[in-house]
Structure 1
């Protein structure tokens, strides 16, 4: 374990139970504060994605810093946070089948809250419209545009503009504007590529909106086309796309923790990563190999977000740049080390995971290193939500 973190901690290393998912509160709060300051500086709303941390304590920090609401991917996640007091939640995922019914049940259960969702296809928008009319409510909905990830989303430009016009005519829908996620930035090889992706992320939405605005008043809505919102997400690109004039909302998630992927992309330096995994060496069966007690059930099997395979191993061992976590089984991590390494059985290693989001989702709680060196426990209340 690095001397910096060890000096701040009231407990000794020998007292630590491992593997431990540890969050440095001061670094976490700095990350939260700086993103909120960025949003204020550029006049955009901040609606952070909960998928990274899934904890109420961090959501409270984000809301207190100025977030206008929260973003999630599952109705189960939305339910957990609505139960805790969230009042504006965007479910940024296409809800189909019985999930449409469940969405409106949640709206009825929490009438004081605003629930929003997205669509990228006319048939799906029509299904949402029919359900909204049947319930006698107006549903806030966003049009998801594909800015290059090639996942969910309609092609930007005239195709998206035409779909927006058709959606605007549907009763029961209050179309907010355009939304995208440039997740393919995680596969970028250089900061220049990240910048190009972030710029296109914003401009493809703004150009699509301009096509809609050229049609003038949207007859079936009370709002004018000029008031449409433009929402971008993705931690690697948010400080690029979020700074483009005309963008009105940002939805980063990973920024609260960051990870080895953000380091590789040049988004942050290692010292800004607020989440680490502490793991103890349980065996050194050979001079060039150790085994640690953090396996796939702790570190996850990601080699990088969105299918990127650009990272070596399954996390960065801080202070041991030549050590590589080569293999993971469920409870074991096999690490290649130099034969002259001084690592011994019983040593606690500090690991920056490749992707912090699944690491948080794999644990029941986060151990938080407070400002005074004490440790607190924050429950990951929305982990494991599958529906």
Structure 2
């Protein structure tokens, strides 16, 4: 039987997000093998948003995590994650919420990003007022051009400001290079190394000016596309020698579930799809058309129509229209399909697809066995 088929699929209401825990475990093992040690990983939890998936990562020896929202940070703390980086600059009410989070979960070491002196000063005032000294990473713009400060004099000045300001303490650099998505591995590596060289140079400059040993300044780098490049980086020891235990922490996120977009774009990576959307035919249209129950509310719709879902058992299904609850597809095999037939789809972008579901149904040994709640899809848990 095909790996994805569910023997008791008649018990599954659709549309549904389903996960395969054994495949998730294999993806986690593959990520650790690529870095050589769980200590090298700081996976982003934005993809799965799940306490259950977090527990699998903790059980595999991963102790450092990255997240994008206060809710994701709280989910990690609830599960006992020792070290959590909020990869965001908490502005306005978020700074106060972050301070509350730190006070509520003292067993977790929390940190966040800064990329602007005014924001850093405001955050520090909030944290100091709460009696906290929060570790911060300088968010460095290496070409993504979304957030971050350019590597150079202004970044050095921001580091010095943070070092001198009560309420925050700079501990490292954060460099997300999500804009590098070349299918050619050599070109992707070249661009990644070119951007990272600027980050390493900045680390050395800060060390020279601030009197900090550069080797002790952690760099959190990359996402899924450049993960294999950063995974191979070696450390710089205090004596200048290269050592295996690098202070470069890799932060992929999609690897746990993987998806069609990254699978097609980066076939050099060993991960396998571990989350699918399951849909049923709900209506037969004219000779070559079917309507499935997979609308905008059930699959990430930011890509153009042909790049939202790929059906494993219907690779010739061509989406031609979608609305909130419906997906119309065209296929020469429509006459052989019946209302109620099941199709198994790999999302092109799994992260925002997961956020559309409050839970993922688990499938083990080919059968529906339970569910994982995606609790961090909510913006607020308790704080």
What SS class does the counterpart of residue 236 from structure 1 fall into? coil
Residue 244 (structure 1) aligns with:
233
1:16 aligns with 2:12: yes
1:234 aligns with 2:223: yes
Out of 115, 125, 128, the residue aligned to residue 123 of structure 2 is 128
Per the TM alignment, residue 255 of structure 1 is displaced from its structure 2 partner at its CA by 0.5
CA contact (8 A) 2:233 2:248 kept: no
Out of 45, 52, 75, the residue aligned to residue 57 of structure 1 is 52
Q: Distance in 2 between matches of 1:95 and 1:343?
A: 51
Q: Distance in 2 between matches of 1:261 and 1:84?
A: 30
Residue 207 (structure 2) aligns with:
213
Structure 1: 5+ residue stretches without partners: 219-223, 304-308
Residue 160 (structure 1) aligns with:
155
What SS class does the counterpart of residue 160 from structure 2 fall into? helix
Q: Distance in 1 between matches of 2:334 and 2:91?
A: 57
1:315 aligns with 2:314: no
Change (3 A) 1:66 1:123: same
Residue 263 (structure 1) aligns with:
263
What SS class does the counterpart of residue 215 from structure 1 fall into? helix
Change (3 A) 1:184 1:62: same
1:278 aligns with 2:273: no
CA contact (8 A) 2:220 2:249 kept: yes
What SS class does the counterpart of residue 283 from structure 2 fall into? strand
Matched positions, count:
370
Residue 175 (structure 1) aligns with:
170
Change (3 A) 1:160 1:26: same
CA contact (8 A) 2:175 2:221 kept: yes
Q: TM-score, normalised by structure 2?
A: 0.88
Per the TM alignment, residue 339 of structure 1 is displaced from its structure 2 partner at its CA by 5.8
Change (3 A) 1:102 1:155: same
Trace 1:95-174 onto structure 2 (pairs within 5 A): 95-174=90-169
Q: TM-score, normalised by structure 1?
A: 0.87
Q: Distance in 2 between matches of 1:268 and 1:356?
A: 19
Range with greater deviation from structure 2 (122-131 or 335-344):
335-344
CA contact (8 A) 1:216 1:225 kept: no
CA contact (8 A) 2:289 2:328 kept: yes
What SS class does the counterpart of residue 291 from structure 1 fall into? strand
1:38 aligns with 2:19: no
